Amino acid sequence: MEQQREAGTLGMWAFLVTEVMFFGGLFLAYILFRGKYPAEFAAASKGLDWILGGLNTAILICSSLTMALAVYYAQLGTRRLQITFLVLTMILGAAFLGIKFVEYKQKFEHHLFPGVGFKWEGADDLHHEQAGGQYMGDQGAGLGQPGSRQPVEGEVSPRNETLGGSHEPERLDPNKVQMFYWIYFAMTGVHALHMVIGLGILSVLVFMARKGRFTKEYHSPVEISGLYWHFVDIVWIFLFPLLYLIGRH
Amino acid sequence: MSEHIVSKKIYYSIFATLMVLTGVTIAVAFIDLGRLNTVVALTIAIFKATLVVLYFMHVRYSSRLTWVFVGAGFFWLAILVVLTLGDYATRGWLNGAK
């Protein structure tokens, strides 16, 4: 029995090591592009909402605690509390995804999703626009950037030197800003996918626990699912400061 | 080796530490430290991740073999990053050096 438990844990860790490699590649892409375009990355980072990001960090840490407690009560064989904490973990996970959805929606509305519709007007204008409720899509040149450009729908020109306003001390290349948003959507998107899978695993656990499958002696599924959940939390611990908090000072 | 049950007290103190460090991360991000900003942010993140791995994921109480698995994973990650950055950082040393 002991050996089986050990094997299960090791198997999960073997999988998590491949996950480290998977996210590691994305982090490496982030490091290289940030090293190449530091000014654009800092400016683009300001376009993200650090309050929502910070709230999500707190939610995920709470969910890690409830997951750890679910494992704790599984080890003690206390079924009711085990189910309670599994459900709490699911609620927190769903809250995380809900906030993430709101953030994505804002990015789409501000044309910050990379692709043909991508538009960058500067982070300050972004907030200005939010306050005024004015839509930048129709009058891109009207946001305090006199004579900067003629907005053509769906076009991102490769080298538009005047974009971003000639009055600004440093000119930011919107294509490099867009690179930040590529990485942002790729990394948080894959992370969110892991959260969705985690929620699926947790619902199976709740189902199994209700049927009384877990005992004080046998609860490996709860434990190794916990490993997975904590790993996803760790990824976010790195994503939050690297995506939301650069260029705040 | 029997299963080690981590006490609730440890879980709660790790949780509190993680929350405080999240606050510190945010606060520090608004202070201009130049290049140190990234260093501080990453140091805190690595420390937080280590706490999660050791206590929430029970690695501290796990067998040596588990340690090898975990260590190997992060060691390979280090190779990926260090070798790539070593390449990028030293390009031009041979040709463009003045």
Q: What is the ipTM of this complex?
A: 0.91
Look at phi and psi of residue A77 and say left if phi exceeds 0, alpha if psi is from -120 to 50, else beta.
left
pTM of the model: 0.83
CA distance B40 to B25: 8
- Residue the block writes with tokens 């049950």: B5
CA distance A223 to A184: 31
Q: Provide the mean pLDDT of chain A.
A: 84
**A214 burial type by CB count under 10 A (0-12 exposed, 13-18 middle, 19+ buried):** buried
Domain ranges, ordered by start, for chain B: 1-61, 63-98
Q: CA of B92 to nearest chain A CA: how many angstroms apart?
A: 15
Contacts of A22 (CB under 8 A, 6+ apart): A190
Phi, psi of B72, deg, nearest 5 = -60, -40
pLDDT given at position B41? 94
As a whole number, mean pLDDT of residues A192-207 equals 97
Asked if B5 lies within 8 A of A72 by C-beta distance, the reply is yes
Most B CBs within 10 A among A1, A2, A3, A9, hence the mutation to make, goes to A9
Residue A139 has pLDDT above 80, yes or no: no
pLDDT band at A64 (very low <50, low <70, confident <90, very high): very high
Residue B28 has pLDDT above 50, yes or no: yes
Contact map slice: A 217-246 vs B, CB within 8 A: 223, 226-227, 230-231, 233-234, 237-238, 240-242, 245-246
Q: Which two tokens stand for residue A238?
A: 């790195």
Query: What stretches of chain A adopt beta strand conformation (E)?
Result: none
Look at phi and psi of residue A53 and say left if phi exceeds 0, alpha if psi is from -120 to 50, else beta.
alpha
CA distance B56 to B73: 18
CA distance A15 to A28: 20
Q: Is B70 helix (H, G, I), strand (E, B) or coil?
A: helix
Q: Which residues of B touch A230 (CB under 8 A)?
A: 52-53, 56-57
Q: Which two tokens stand for residue A141?
A: 């040149």
The answer to which of A118-122, A136-140, A230-234, B8-12 has the lowest mean pLDDT is A136-140
Q: Is A182 on the interface with B (CB under 8 A)?
A: no
pLDDT given at position A80? 94
Q: Which of A54, A72, A249 sits opposite B31 (nearest CB)?
A: A249
pLDDT band at A13 (very low <50, low <70, confident <90, very high): very high
Q: Which of B22, B37, B73 sits opposite A16 (nearest CB)?
A: B73
pLDDT given at position B2? 62
Neighbours of A200 (CB within 10 A): 11
Residue A214 has pLDDT above 70, yes or no: yes
Most B CBs within 10 A among A1, A3, A13, hence the mutation to make, goes to A13
CB contacts < 8 A (A, B): 125
Q: How many Å separate Cα A158 from the centre of its chain?
A: 28
pLDDT band at A164 (very low <50, low <70, confident <90, very high): very low
Q: In chain B, pLDDT over 90 holds for what percent of residues?
A: 76
Q: Which residues of A touch B56 (CB under 8 A)?
A: 64-65, 67-68, 226, 230, 233
As a whole number, mean pLDDT of residues B31-49 equals 92
pLDDT given at position B9? 95
SS3 assignment for A83-123:
HHHHHHHHHHHHHHHHHHHHHHHHHHHCCCCCCCCCCCCCH
pLDDT band at A72 (very low <50, low <70, confident <90, very high): very high
Note whether A29 and B5 are within 8 A (CB). no
Phi, psi of A77, deg, nearest 5 = 80, 20
